[in-house]
Amino acid sequence: MTTMVLSAPECHRHSGTSDVAELYVQHRLPLTRLAVLMLGDLASAEDAVQEVFVKLWSRSELLENVASPSAYLRTAVVNRARSVQRRRKTEREYRPLFVPDVEAAEATAMLPLEHREVVEAVRALPTRQREVMILRYWADLSETDIARTLGITRGTVKSAASRGMRTLSERLKD
């Protein structure tokens, strides 16, 4: 019987990847929900979260210098969602004119009408307001955590939340 002896870097790598696996089990679902709210569909959200964890898995040493792994992951997922949104925007700009812009019906079909209206109103918000509203009211983050996640000031979070709520209130008056 052969016993495998791991060198110091291999031991560290093994430890780091098991940490990533634990983080995956703990944070996958909340991060996926966050990504769904930002991207509008489950498949894209799952892909975004998976890409974040794959990158972290391949570079598990990143966790050594991270004070809060959950905040790091949340920021990484928001950034990944932003990348997906930018790519979608580029694709829409270069899409042939005769192709209809159709959203997946299953994404909102199961929601009651009043929830669909809220989701549609949130999706229509400008990007910054939409991100702040999602992180504040769906992810239940504090202004400080939102500012850290989005890389903006608390004042910007407050003004974006205020403008977002005002716009949503106007759109949902009926």
What's the whole-number mean pLDDT along residues 98-123? 64
User: What is the total count of domains within the chain?
Assistant: 2
DSSP letter at 134?
A: I
Which residue, 36, 63, 97, sits at the end of a domain? 97
| In the predicted structure, residue 142 carries a pLDDT above the cut 50 | yes
Is there a single domain that holds both residue 139 and residue 65? no
Range of the domain at 153: 104-174
Query: Does residue 75 sit within a domain?
Result: yes
| Cα 160 from Cα 166, distance rounded (Å) | 10
Q: Is residue 5 part of a domain?
A: no
Statement to judge: residues 73 and 137 lie in one domain: no
Q: Could you say which of 60, 79, 97 is where a domain stops?
A: 97
Q: Is the pLDDT of residue 167 over 50?
A: yes
Most confident of 33-37, 91-95, 106-110: 33-37
Q: At what angle do helices 154-171 and 113-123 cross, to 10 degrees?
A: 130
Instruction: With a cut of 60, say whether residue 120 has pLDDT above it.
Output: yes
Tell me, what's the pLDDT at 1? 40
**Cβ-Cβ contacts under 8 Å for 92 (sequence gap 6 or more):** 101
- 19: pLDDT confidence band, cut at 50, 70 and 90? confident
Return d(Cα 16, Cα 174) in angstroms, integer.
52
Residues 6+ apart with CB under 8 A from 64: 16
pTM: 0.59
What is the average per-residue pLDDT within 132-155? 92
Q: Which residue has the tokens 């949130």?
A: 122
Query: Within a domain: residue 2?
Result: no
| Residue 111 in domain | yes
Does 86 share its domain with 18? yes
Tokens 């009211």, residue located: 137
Q: Are residues 90 and 118 in the same domain?
A: no
Q: Which of 75, 97, 119 is the last residue of a domain?
A: 97
Asked if residue 3 has pLDDT above 50, the reply is no
pLDDT at 95: 58
